[in-house]
């Protein structure tokens, strides 16, 4: 799973800045969750994942 990468085929210039910031934030949450899982801190990973989902579901400010 460590070699798993997602590469967007959409140019960043096509994504509004506020959406780019939101995606960047979600990527950071994913890194935190991944690190928790790798270190065996499953309960912490669940908490951080819930926070990431909450932020992802929040409407964007445009």
pLDDT in tens, 13-35: 565 677 788 888 889 999 999 99
Three-class DSSP category at 2: coil
Phi, psi of 59 (to 5 degrees): -65, 145
**Predicted pLDDT of residue 59:** 77
Rounded to whole angstroms, what are the CA distances from 48 to 11, 20, 37, 57, 58?
A: 29, 20, 11, 14, 16
> What is the reported pTM?
0.65
Q: Delimit the domains of the chain by residue range.
A: 17-57
List the structure tokens of 7. 């590469």
Q: What is the dihedral of CA 34, 38, 39, 42, to 10 degrees?
A: 60
């Amino acid at each position: 799973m460590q070699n798993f990468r997602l590469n967007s085929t959409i140019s960043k210039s096509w994504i509004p800045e506020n959406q780019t910031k939101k995606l960047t934030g979600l990527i950071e949450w994913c890194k935190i969750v991944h690190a928790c899982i790798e270190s065996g801190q499953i309960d912490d990973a669940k908490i951080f994942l819930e926070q990431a989902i909450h932020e992802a579901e929040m409407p964007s400010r445009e």
